[in-house]
Amino acid sequence: MKFAKLLQQILQEDGVPPEWVEKAIQYKALKKRINRVVEELENVGLKRENMSFTYEIEQIQHQLRPQLTTDVSQELEQVVISRLNDMDYSFSVVQKEGDGSVLTVSLHEDTLFFQTLYEELEELKRFGEEQEHELVNTVENLATVIGKVGSPNTRKNDMYVWREIFQMYIESEVFFSTRERSSGRVDVAVSRKRLSDFVAHVNETKVLKRLRQRNSLAAFATFKEMNFLIIKVANYQAINSMAVQKILKKFDKQTTLNSLKLFPDVVKKSFEANILNSTVYKDVCAVIGERLLSIVPQLDDYTCPICCTVAFKPIRLDCGHLFCVRCLVKLQRKEEDKCPLCRQQVVLHADERNLDVAQMAYLKLYFPQEVKQKQREDEKEIFKEQYGHIVDPDKPTCTIV
Ligand SMILES: [Zn+2]
Ligand SMILES: [Zn+2]
């Protein structure tokens, strides 16, 4: 399939709004411009056969000025110079020792082609920034709403449900992989599939039915839509940069000029960013991580590295590492002085002064269920230690025979 058609099809299939289509790289129109450059080369007598060009693109503020340099024979020189003069081109000719000279010229159609492409990219960059800005705004708004409905200080809050939702979302690795060998940004199609799977998973677990706050359900809908929009924007950016690559390749093939090596660098320098590389994943996802997912802390970040349950009551050793009091007491009983994480000798002299009071209050607030459960287990364990040889706390104390 021709790329122009493929481009149109992709934009259509993705349900891209008309405004986006308008702002996309105008591949078809640019293709026509290439034909005009070819015609122009012929008109001025610089036919592409058996000629080799050196090509440069100079930039003065927002104006691009491509220049080509080539050796011309004495015979050709007369023809070319008279045509260039007739058609009002600016050029320079330097006589070479011996036969012929070196001609440097800026062609009109050539200039127009690159100027058009450049301005389309400029527009696209502005549009991309707008889209990212809107997405970031959505994240901020969601952060405010979920910050409220998911706050432990709100009565009948949805903290646990949001934690579950975000946990599923993080595990889905919609935009970035950490598990696979090829870790890093994932392909647009993969992202879309993973996002759909995440939504299906949320629905299967019926977790949304447990939401109690009125704004929570709407916030989830917005969260879902926003993620699909990120994928759409990323896809749109990727398609456009593909279109630029394709059009430059086509240009080079038809004109024998060498733009594919030059133009991306000009763009990069000029925009002070590689806009031919989609940035929306990186930028917006960073904001989602920092502003949204962190609102509801995840248990994984607050577990004791030994027993893997919530680190309550948290003992912070002098080395800075933190363990639950039960695990620490067990270490001390074994007279183990080395911190299991960094091997510093800090365990034995730890006492109640090492209790991290602020962290304890935090855990009580954000993980009340886990903390209660842990306390029950601790009590059971202590009971077992004291009376374990007489009774088992898990079994009824009297049995009827
Ligand atoms: Zn522990
Ligand atoms: Zn340590």
For the chain, 401 residues long, the average pLDDT of each consecutive 10-residue run is: 83 84 92 95 80 86 89 85 90 85 92 94 91 95 97 96 96 82 73 96 97 96 95 89 93 89 85 76 88 94 96 96 96 96 96 96 97 94 79 52 41
- Residue 225: Cβ within 10 Å count: 11
What's the gap in Å between 319 CA and the centre of ligand 2? 5
Ligand whose nearest atom lies closest to the CA of 315? 1
Query: Cα dist. 20→16, 124, 148, 224, 229 in Å?
Result: 6, 9, 35, 21, 13
What's the gap in Å between 365 CA and the centre of ligand 1? 19
* pLDDT attached to residue 230: 92
* pLDDT attached to residue 396: 53
What's the gap in Å between 335 CA and the centre of ligand 2? 16
State the Rg of the chain over Cα: 33
Q: For 92, list phi and psi in degrees, rounded to 5.
A: -135, 145
Residue 40 exposure: Cα atoms within 13 Å on the Cβ side: 20
What's the gap in Å between 336 CA and the centre of ligand 1? 15
What's the gap in Å between 293 CA and the centre of ligand 2? 28
Ligand whose nearest atom lies closest to the CA of 354? 2
Query: How far, in Å, CA of 87 to CA of 308, rounded?
Result: 80
CATH code of 300-387, in short, is: 3.30.40.10
Domain spans of the chain, in order of start: 19-111, 112-297, 300-387
19-111 and 300-387 in the same fold:
no
> Coil, helix or strand for 47?
coil
Ligand 2 ion: Cβ-proximal residues, 5 Å cutoff: 319, 321, 339, 341-342
Cβ within 8 Å of residue 64, ≥6 positions away: 57, 58, 111, 114, 115, 118, 266
Query: Cα dist. 385→361, 380, 392 in Å?
Result: 27, 9, 10
Contact predicate 37/247, CB 8 Å: no
Query: How far, in Å, CA of 261 to CA of 241, rounded?
Result: 15
* pLDDT one-digit tens code per residue, 116-149: 999 999 999 999 999 999 999 999 999 999 999 9
What's the gap in Å between 349 CA and the centre of ligand 2? 13
Ligand whose nearest atom lies closest to the CA of 302? 1
* pLDDT attached to residue 398: 47
Residue 66 exposure: Cα atoms within 13 Å on the Cβ side: 24
* pLDDT attached to residue 183: 58
Q: Identify the CATH assignment for 19-111 out of 3.40.50, 3.30.40, 3.30.1360, 1.10.3470.
A: 3.30.1360
* pLDDT attached to residue 180: 58
> Coil, helix or strand for 184?
strand
What's the gap in Å between 177 CA and the centre of ligand 1? 30
Cβ within 8 Å of residue 119, ≥6 positions away: 62
H or E element that contains 57: strand 53-60
154-188: b (≥16 Cβ within 10 Å) or e: eeebbbbbbbbbbebbeebbbbebeeeeeeebbeb
* pLDDT attached to residue 116: 95
